[in-house]
Structure 1
Amino acid sequence: MQYLHIRRREKMDNRTYLKKIIIDKVNGEDINEVEDITIEEARLNVFLNGEKAISMMCIPIDQKAHAIGFLMSENVISSMDDVEEVNISDDGLRVDIKAAVDEDSLTNLYKEKTLVSGCGGGVTGNIAGQVEVPFNQTRFVVSPDTISTEVKKFYQESELYTLTGCVHKAMIYLEDGTTVTAEDIGRHNAIDKVVGKCKLNNLDTTKSVLFVSGRLSSEMVVKAVMHKVPIVVSRTAPTHLGVTTAHKHGLTLIGFARGKKMNIYTHSGRVIG
């Protein structure tokens, strides 16, 4: 089993999105001035065929993956075969993509602009069901032990959370045991980034498990549906709309995955002991 580090590891001082600050730390009656680390929010501008498509507040890392993952989540881009170029500006705050696009989905993105519940800042144009996705009939299965093991690793190996306590994480577990991870201030951003990494590296997500931090609300489930990910796992709860969306589209939804315990809300046949 391998752990896929697509992003190059850097020393903290070279990561411009990590900022050192001085705070007053209170412990009972003791107050001490100490150094702390915060994480930067930046506005990432995504241009599609020369026109601005969207701006997203995020951590300025994995920007190409973020842009590709988001546009594929929204069905604006159908597959990597439709992408001609992906370029990033020197300051890291603009991604330019040349690609064949689904004009109806692009129009929906601008027209609907639904503020999703993921972190209070995500936008989707296709959450209300404008895009029809076939029922997921994959026979990919996973054992409860694998889920328990990967959940434990998922929370132990969260680098930016350890440093800042201010990020969400997503991880794709592939059929061969490879894992791909991404972190961001937004849960929805983390999913877009991790799926975008897979797409940019020609990795098949149709036989995979998506692990996410935080609750499983409907837009989190929709992103998995759009990428044909068959199983989604969280340590916390789903919403009712998240459950009904997963049931409708053939997605196995697992919540409260802690230790050897988990709740399987939909399509439990993919979890085989």
Structure 2
Amino acid sequence: MTYSVQTAREILRFRNGVEETMMDTVATEIPITVKMNGEEVVTMISSPDYIEDMVVGYLISEGLVSSVNNIEQIRYEAPRGFVHLTVNQSINPLHQQLQTKRYLTSCCGMSRQSFIFASDAKTTKTMHTRSVTITPEQCLMLMQELQETANTFKETGGVHNAALATQEGIVLMRMDIGRHNALDKIYGYCLRNQISLDDKVLLFSGRLSSEIVLKVAKIGCEMILSKSAPTNRALEIAEELQITTVGFIRQQSMNVYTMQERIKRS
């Protein structure tokens, strides 16, 4: 069985006091269970595309697999919703338990102590380099391109969009019902196809929460652009990990919150 990312459904709509029966389009979600070396690791809820990329991105960004080179085989069993991986490393049961627990730590050399997931401390990267710079005009152009090409969102209104881009335009775009899934799909594709992130920026349709900024740090991008708002905790983490965050990119306006030196002004 194969799934479409969107599903047609008959609905009853009320508008201006008038009711009508019509067809509507909704986003599809399916459960995906990941098994490594025959052992069940996690079940994820996802849009039904780019599943193998998402799983690779998730496992490596969360530290459950140390490198894409450790994955010997991956197979998506679509009818049953299983992804089977053969990896040449042991699965640390303690690491799996720590994923669901928070502890007090100083993450990646952070100056303040923060409650974060244990796996975050192992996999986040501080962006010491300054290999990416971008103009305000390029930020506006990239966000417009993201919105114009977000076809599933236009049809359903029920997915998040993420993209990898250079200053010139989008090079890779993914969507998912889950915010993290969309980013994991991008990361997994880059890992499996040896695409460098050094000169790239991430685009995102949703809110810049602390978990999203941590995901950006795990992926290893210096900059994330969003049409939505950040949270204060996300900005604190971005400052400590030296990630440039730009939010509220709408029409001809945008806010640069952290690491402003990567934004080129005339």
What TM-score bracket applies, with the shorter chain setting the length?
A: 0.7 to 0.9
Structure-2 change in CA distance of 1:33 and 1:265 (3 Å) = same
Q: Which residue of 2 aligns with 1:52?
A: 40
Structure-2 change in CA distance of 1:223 and 1:166 (3 Å) = same
* Percent pairwise identity: 24
Q: How far 1:132 sits from its partner (Å)?
A: 5.7
Deviates more, 1:93-102 or 1:62-71: 93-102
Which of residues 261, 264, 267 in structure 1 aligns to 2:253? 261
**Which letter maps to 2:39?**
E
TM-score (norm 1): 0.83
For structure 2, the residue ranges without an aligned partner over 5 or more in a row are 103-115
TM-score (norm 2): 0.85
Deviates more, 1:200-209 or 1:238-247: 200-209
Q: Matched residue of 1:129: which SS?
A: helix
Which of residues 180, 187, 191 in structure 2 aligns to 1:195? 187
Deviates more, 1:19-28 or 1:172-181: 172-181
**Separation in 2 of the partners of 1:256 and 1:206?**
24
1:20-52 deviation line (CA, Å, top 9, x unaligned) = 211111111211110112222211011122211
Q: Which residue of 1 aligns with 2:160?
A: 168
Contact 1:58-1:185 at 8 Å conserved across structures: yes
Q: Which residue of 2 aligns with 1:137?
A: 129
Q: Which residue of 2 aligns with 1:215?
A: 207
Q: How far 1:197 sits from its partner (Å)?
A: 1.9
Backbone CA RMSD of aligned residues: 2.4
Q: Which residue of 1 aligns with 2:66?
A: 78
Q: How far 1:262 sits from its partner (Å)?
A: 1.4
Q: How far 1:127 sits from its partner (Å)?
A: 6.1
Which of residues 23, 26, 36 in structure 2 aligns to 1:35? 23
**Separation in 1 of the partners of 2:5 and 2:56?**
21
Q: How far 1:176 sits from its partner (Å)?
A: 6.8
Deviates more, 1:139-148 or 1:61-70: 139-148
Q: Which residue of 2 aligns with 1:24?
A: 12
Q: Which residue of 1 aligns with 2:97?
A: 110
Contact 2:213-2:237 at 8 Å conserved across structures: yes
1:218-256 deviation line (CA, Å, top 9, x unaligned) = 110011101111101111111111001111111111111
Q: How far 1:195 sits from its partner (Å)?
A: 1.6
For structure 1, the residue ranges without an aligned partner over 5 or more in a row are 1-13, 116-123
Q: Which residue of 2 aligns with 1:184?
A: 176
Contact 2:163-2:170 at 8 Å conserved across structures: no
1:224 to 2:216 alignment: yes
Deviates more, 1:75-84 or 1:18-27: 75-84
**Which letter maps to 1:180?**
L
Contact 1:60-1:93 at 8 Å conserved across structures: no
